[in-house]
Chain A
Amino acid sequence: MPAMETATAVTTLLLRGKRFEVRSGSTLRDAIRKIGLSPEAVLAAHDGELITDDRILRPGEEIRLVAVISGG
């Protein structure tokens, strides 16, 4: 019997027009690190509300990241 492939559930992180697909089920903090960002340098929003980074990512949802560090 051929092995069946299981589709991996993903969550999308959006930052400055870029889309990052990460595995759902992890914390937002881990996902932010995974895409190479510092959790200290961004805020995250879902449905227009800020969320904390202990949030467990759900399949199919989109989280908007807001960069908070400016260099001026």
Chain B
Amino acid sequence: MKCRKCGEKASINMRQHKLALCREHYLEWLPEQTERAIDHYRMFGRGEKILVAVSGGKDSLALWDILHRLGYDADGLYIDLGIDAGIGYSSKSRALCETFAAERGLTLQVAGVEQEYGASIPEAARRSMRGRRKPCSVCGLVKRHIMNRICRDQGYTALATGHNLDDEAAVLFHNAMTWAGGYLARQAPVLAATRSGLARKVKPFCRIYERETAAYALMSKIEYIYEECPFSEGSSTLYYKDILNRIEEDRPGAKLQFYLSFLQAKEKGLFAPDAAGEAELHDCPQCGQPTSAPEKCTFCRLWERLAPAGTMG
């Protein structure tokens, strides 16, 4: 198979676009596609200060690399979750982010959950009873809080995450299976900062296949953590991604069409606003972040109700 642009041997074939490209042209193509999405969905402009949430994985590091190459003012944020699982998962991924930033002269902020709040994510989940087997919900809660806090305190106007098309399609599939109206109504490439204190969240890779972000990382020689988060085994996300890939095999472009048609349907008003209305937000009296909980936010209550270390199984 040959590169459509130069006729050299292709390194990747994207069946959904009927497009094969060599390494050189692919490394131009993906940043162009990313910039198109940034402009199309009005995610952010030049001169804005962007924070990229990086995990050490292929998607977030590829995104940071591309934003840097495109000339955006983008710093990175690594949240050290304290996950070891016998493979030093967090320390390894942190080292990869630090090396990535140092090699490019970029600013990486590091927030250590254990150092700041007194317990790692697995420990907090175990002691809070909020996920003794799987700490994923605690992990999501803590990450959202820290990302928002750093954006707010340090004047970042947008928080960019490496969510790719496969991530978005899997979430959409899951929510459509249960007709989770509230979640469907909120799923979008841009989550606007609805009030002061809640950062704008953007997903510049929302139209890019996961296979393409991985190809970019490999072709750019970005060192990323290849191991999965030890807690993702058996996750519903992997299950839905697998189903969608089986469909994609027979119908190239099915995932992209699924997601883009959803966004178009939303624009045409298919999903009415929740009849109960948006939850009223107020500032948490402890941390000051917006919350819909009656008093303190869920994050502050999580740390308050942690059982003392060593008392839980």
Contact = CB atoms under 8 A, between A and B. Distances in A.
A54 B10 CA distance: 11
Interface string A17-50: 0000000000000000000001111010100011
Contact of B166 (A43, A50, A51, A69): A69
A47 to B, nearest CB: 12
B263 to A, nearest CB: 21
Given A40-B245, A50-B23, A72 B218 contact: no
A2 interface: no
A45 B214 CA distance: 12
Interface of A: 38-41, 43, 45, 49-54, 66-72
Interface of B: 1, 10-13, 20, 23, 55, 57-59, 166, 210-211, 213-215, 218-219, 226, 228-229, 232-233, 235, 237-238, 241-242, 245-246, 248-249
30 contacts: A38-B242, A38-B245, A38-B246, A40-B211, A41-B242, A41-B245, A43-B12, A43-B215, A43-B218, A49-B11, A49-B23, A50-B23, A50-B215, A51-B11, A52-B10, A53-B13, A54-B1, A66-B226, A67-B226, A68-B211, A68-B213, A68-B214, A69-B238, A69-B241, A70-B58, A70-B210, A71-B228, A71-B232, A72-B57, A72-B235
Contacts of B233: 71
